[in-house]
Amino acid sequence: MNPPPIVSVIFEPAARPSVVIKDATAVIIDAIRATTTIVTAIAAGATEVVPYRTPEEVLAEAARRPAGSVITAGERQGVRIEGLDCNNSPSVMTSDRVGGRAVLLTTTNGTQAIHDALAAREILIAAMPNRRAVARRAAALGRSVVFVTAGTVGEVSCEDVLVAGAVIEALGDEAGGAAFHLEDSARLALAAWLGSKDRLGDVFHQTRGGARIAKLGLEADLAICHEVDTTAVVPVVRGEPPRVVAG
């Protein structure tokens, strides 16, 4: 008899190297804001989102592509990087702006998390807006699930853990969801979500990342980051170097 697929959560970037993910489904979460931006961009019709570690890589790739075919986006500590078209902002990822174009993205935490998970069998991009769709895809795949949270400058991020918990709750509602075994890390994330889901907007504003974004005047971004189940889009990571496309 085969062992049941397990569900676990990596809370901090430093723990990633010690977790074996090559046969698992990795779910990347950077709720404020990278994965929310990616989900929103793909839902708005972007052809792909290409994650980069540095702004220099973004600009070099943009120079190689046909004029008008890309949008460059990125931030460091929440602030738009000079020379890029826009911030790492879900609120600007509209169909008018990104439809039919590629988004070249670099962020403080989230794009690095994608690169760190490339050994996984499948990589899904999750945020509050698509948490149920991600759960459905993970259940259908039937493999162990490892949530890779981006964290904030090396530390655990409350909002990322809440998204993991939200997906885990939805996973339990899916056909075959009961077959998954929750490790302690997954149980902690689920408990955090269940204790916060009825006041999610307040909790997101109180987190370190949320407070920073609010202070920068990016309330429109923050509002999108805590919307739940507003899209059925599941971005997936393909290839290496990685490209994020609609799954």
Tell which wins on pLDDT, 104 or 152.
104
**Residue 83's pLDDT band (cuts 50, 70, 90):** very high
- Compute the radius of gyration of the chain from its Cα atoms: 17
Say what percent of the chain tops pLDDT 90.
Answer: 94
12-16, 155-159, 206-210: which range is least confident on average?
A: 12-16
Q: What is the pLDDT of residue 150?
A: 96
Burial of 118 (0-12, 13-18, 19+ CB in 10 A): middle
**Residue 197's pLDDT band (cuts 50, 70, 90):** very high
Q: What is the pLDDT of residue 235?
A: 98
Tens-digit pLDDT profile for residues 95-137? 999 999 999 999 999 999 999 999 999 999 999 999 999 999 9
Would you give the end-to-end CA distance of the chain in angstroms?
Answer: 31
Q: What is the pLDDT of residue 20?
A: 86
Q: What is the pLDDT of residue 18?
A: 85
Q: How many CB atoms are located within 10 Å of the residue 101 CB? A: 18
Tens-digit pLDDT profile for residues 204-231? 999 999 999 999 999 999 999 999 999 9
The whole-angstrom separation of Cα 126 and Cα 135 is 9
Q: What is the pLDDT of residue 2?
A: 81
**For 155, phi and psi rounded to 5 degrees?**
-110, 160
Q: Which residues of 53-87 are buried (b: 16+ CB within 10 A; e: fewer)?
A: eebebbbebbeeeeeeebbbbbbeebebbeebbbb
Tens-digit pLDDT profile for residues 21-39? 999 999 999 999 999 999 9
Within 75-215, residue ranges assigned H as helices are 95-98, 110-116, 131-141, 158-173, 184-196, 200-206, 208-215
User: Is 65 in contact with 52 (CB distance < 8 Å)?
Assistant: no
Which residue ranges form the domains of the chain, and what is each CATH number? 6-246 (3.90.1560.10)
Residue 35: beta bridge partners? none
Q: What is the pLDDT of residue 200?
A: 98
